[in-house]
Amino acid sequence: MILTVTLNTALDITYRVRSLRPHASHRVSEVTERPGGKGVNVARVLAALGHEVTVTGFTGGATGRVVQERLASVPGVVDALVPISGATRRTIAVVDDRTGDTTQLNEPGPTVTPAEWSAFQEAYEDLLPSASAVALCGSLPPGVPVGAYAGLVRTARAAGVPVLLDTSGEPLRRGVAARPDIIKPNADELAELTGSHEPLRATQDARRRGAAAVVASLGPEGLLAATREGRWRATPPTSVRGNPTGAGDSVVAGLLSGLVEHLSWPDRLIRATAISAATVLAPVAGAFDRTTYEELLERVTVTGEASAA
């Protein structure tokens, strides 16, 4: 079982409009709702790849009930969300059919009490013995300590479970110091962490700060990885346009599935890049078409080299 943690779960709502214009009324042509938050998106992709996944984090209020109802219909995903008194947030993605661009609106999330945070930590520790890997994903809701991910990384490491961290800002800075097995920042998050806007130098610096492996998402330029085993760059065959919501989460799913399947780093990066590109091309946020993904697998290129023994 792979465990994904989403402390700030969401109900993802996608609106499609003919053309998005500021200061104007719009007729929505299509509305889609699905369980969201980064770790939930990761879990959905992992399940589509054939892995058993358990989702934990927080859920509350009427929106939280909708999230859990929708999550129950996702094959291969087990709901282990922890109830809280606050209401789960919503995220709104508005897709412009004319340009293919997406405008994202993210609510902050409910305030978590100290007792609720303690209850989650107990649930997390109980789930770890059954986990082959864990992903810690997304923003922290109000009330959760800024060093929360650092503590969760240490708990996973103490249990002998590989852990991937995908967050940003101060939670990422503190989390890296706890020595996660993998971090997956995007270019902006990596620059904020290291102070360097040169991706290769920044990935190496992030490793020196504590991460065993750093995989940076560089948007249409693909992925850049710095690991103990070597350094590689994976590039999609063409620049893809569409809805990028969930593309980074698909990268996490590709990396985690490759980890538990004991794939080489180049093969993990090929998978992660292909799934990410297929997610951008999908009409619904956080989904991917299997046929498109398999076609892209054959066309992703990887360059780089393994470290000397």
Q: Is the CB of residue 175 less than 8 Å from the CB of residue 183?
A: yes
- Single out the catalytic residue among 12, 166, 181, 249: 249
Residue 31 bridge partners (DSSP): 15
Instruction: Give Cα 244 to chain centroid, integer Å.
Output: 12
Instruction: Give the integer Cα–Cα distance in Å for 150 and 12.
Output: 27
Inter-CA distances, 164 with 114, 182, 201, Å: 25, 5, 21
Q: Is the CB of residue 271 less than 8 Å from the CB of residue 251?
A: no
Instruction: Give Cα 280 to chain centroid, integer Å.
Output: 14
Q: Given the structure tokens 């989460």, which residue do they identify?
A: 249
For residue 96, indicate whether it is catalytic.
Answer: no
CA atoms within 13 A on the CB side of 27: 2
Residues 6 or more apart in contact with residue 74 via CB below 8 angstroms? 35, 43, 44, 47
- Residues carrying an active site annotation: 249
